[in-house]
Structure formats: structure tokens, C-alpha cells
Copies of this chain bind each other. A is one copy, B any other.
Amino acid sequence: MARAGLTTERLTRAGAELADEVGFDQVTLSALARRFDVTVASLYSHLSNSRDLRTRIALLALDELAVRAADALAGRAGRDALAALGGVYRDYAREHPGRWSAAQLRLDPATAAASAGGRHAELTRAILRGYHLSEPDQTHAVRLLGSVFHGYVSLELGGGFSHSAPDTEQTWTRVIDALDALLRHWPAP
């Protein structure tokens, strides 16, 4: 019987596609096996279990996001950089809703430490250099920006903003304006 050419890599990528198509929590080893026309047991040579698959998809998503973010931030600063970074998250979530969900997966500390999560914080910190905040305010601001981007994208994608004017596009630019203003006039304790 001919080999299917399975690989942890290929399985992870296919899992990510599957997530975007049917939703991250519908990603199943069975569905993945079907996609490769292979029995489920065969997957266990490349993945230790179904949690392993989900973790790998999450790490893939975090990495893709970090790459896009680094790309988008090149040569930008200030409000421009803010809009670029937020736009990366927003666009990615719309293009790849399943991967976006995957990126929210709770990782155990060791895995999280090895993930691209730190790069995200670093990129955010890079933006803040343009706003001349010193520690610990810079860390506070990193966390605030992370919260806003994460929260906004999740709520928008989940339909939390629908059914009401004005449209989210306007809100988005105004939110960026507001963050820019806030960082330029960061309040003293």
C-alpha cells in the first residue's frame, strides 16, 4: 500500500485549514484522517494525541501572526504603527477565524514560553518606544494594547458589535485614534 506522505507539519497545516473551514472546536483527528484518506490510527505516528494537534495549530497561528505583525510594523511608528498592528490581528481573524480561535487556546506555561507569544509583546513594546513611556508604564501599556486588540477582534468576530450603527469600520479608526491620544498623554499615577 502506497504511503500517504504524512508529516507533523502537513497535518498541522491541514488542521489549520480545517479549523478555518469548520471551526477550531470541530477539528478532529477523524476529520483530519478523512482529509488524507488515511485511518485515524495512522495519525498517531505523527501526533501524540488530539490535544497535541490543537496545540500545534495554536502555535502555528501565533507564529503566523507574529510574522505578519513584524512585517507590518517595519518602517512604521506612532499612530501608523498602532493601526498596522491592530490591522494585522483584525485581518488575520477575518481571514482565518479557526486559526484565530486556535491562538486563544490556553497553553501550558512551558509551551506558552516557547511560543511566539513573547514576540507579540516585543512588537507591541517596539511601538511604544515612539511614545516615550518608561517602566513600569510601558508594561502597563503593552498589556492595555494587547487587551484592546484581543478584545476588539474577538468581540467583532463574535458578532458582539453587529445590529447597531455606526459600522465597525468607523469605530475601529476612532479606537486607534483614542489609543494614540492616550499613549501621547499617558496619565501620571
Q: Which A residues are within 8 Å of any B CB, using their own CB?
A: 25, 104, 106-107, 109, 112-113, 117, 136-137, 139-141, 143-144, 146-152, 154-155, 158-166, 168, 170-171, 174-175, 177-178, 180-182, 185-187, 189
Within 8 Å by CB of A166, from B136, B146, B174, B182, lies B136
Interface pairs (30), CB distance under 8 Å: A25-B25, A104-B154, A106-B158, A106-B159, A107-B159, A109-B159, A112-B159, A139-B165, A139-B166, A140-B170, A140-B171, A140-B174, A140-B178, A143-B155, A144-B152, A144-B175, A144-B178, A146-B155, A147-B147, A147-B148, A147-B155, A147-B175, A150-B151, A150-B154, A150-B155, A177-B187, A177-B189, A178-B182, A181-B187, A185-B185
Within 8 Å by CB of A146, from B117, B160, B187, lies B160
Interface of A is mostly: helix
Q: Which residues of B contact A166 (CB under 8 A)?
A: 136, 139-140
Q: Which residues of B contact A107 (CB under 8 A)?
A: 159
